[in-house]
Amino acid sequence: MIRQPAAFVSSLKIKNWGIGYSDLLKKNVFQSDNILSKYYEQILQFSNSNQDIIEQGILFWNMVHEKIHGFKLSHSNWLFMKHEDLSLNPVEEFERIFNYLGLPYTEEIITEIEKLTSKNPSPAIVNKSSDIFEVKRNSKENIWYWKERLTVDEIERIYNGTKHISNFFYSAKDW
């Protein structure tokens, strides 16, 4: 699942979720993984200092999505999807997932997908929820809320900080 960088960082910001970079260092994946190893020094720096949520999100998005890009290049038979496509057309896109996995796609499943993606609380209600795992969304409306949650400066920082990877997945119109 590929997610627009500003949307991802906006989700971190709205929930005030930082990234546990010191915990990531304990995993030892950075020395053995060619893609992730180049981030080791930056992760070390982030684990020893208080970086703001925007910078934390930029680094984490870059690491995850550079890895995804590598997988996409080396595994042409894998299914890669953009979060935004799934949000715009949840019934059709979930059908693609179910077909890819060889799972039955029933009317009951379709009804549940429709219930969870289109007939839900407004973002104001969702965002004030005390349940950090709240997943009900009006999916189509949710795609662009990051533009309301982030400042122009934050969006520019995210764009500049991720464009070397985000350009593989997103065009200028997605910003």
> pLDDT digits over 90-124, tens only?
999 999 999 999 999 999 999 999 988 875 554 54
Lowest mean pLDDT among 6-15, 65-74, 111-120: 111-120
Cα–Cα distance measured from residue 25 to residue 175, given in angstroms and rounded to the nearest whole number: 32
Contacts of 152 (CB under 8 A, 6+ apart): none
pTM (two decimals):
0.84
If pLDDT is split at 50, 70 and 90, which confidence band does 127 have?
very low
> pLDDT digits over 128-160, tens only?
445 555 555 566 777 888 999 999 999 999 999
Element (H, E) at 107: helix 107-118
**What is the Cα 62 distance to its own chain's centre?**
11
> pLDDT digits over 43-64, tens only?
889 888 888 999 999 999 999 9
Cα–Cα distance measured from residue 98 to residue 115, given in angstroms and rounded to the nearest whole number: 18
> pLDDT digits over 13-46, tens only?
998 898 888 887 877 766 676 777 888 889 889 8
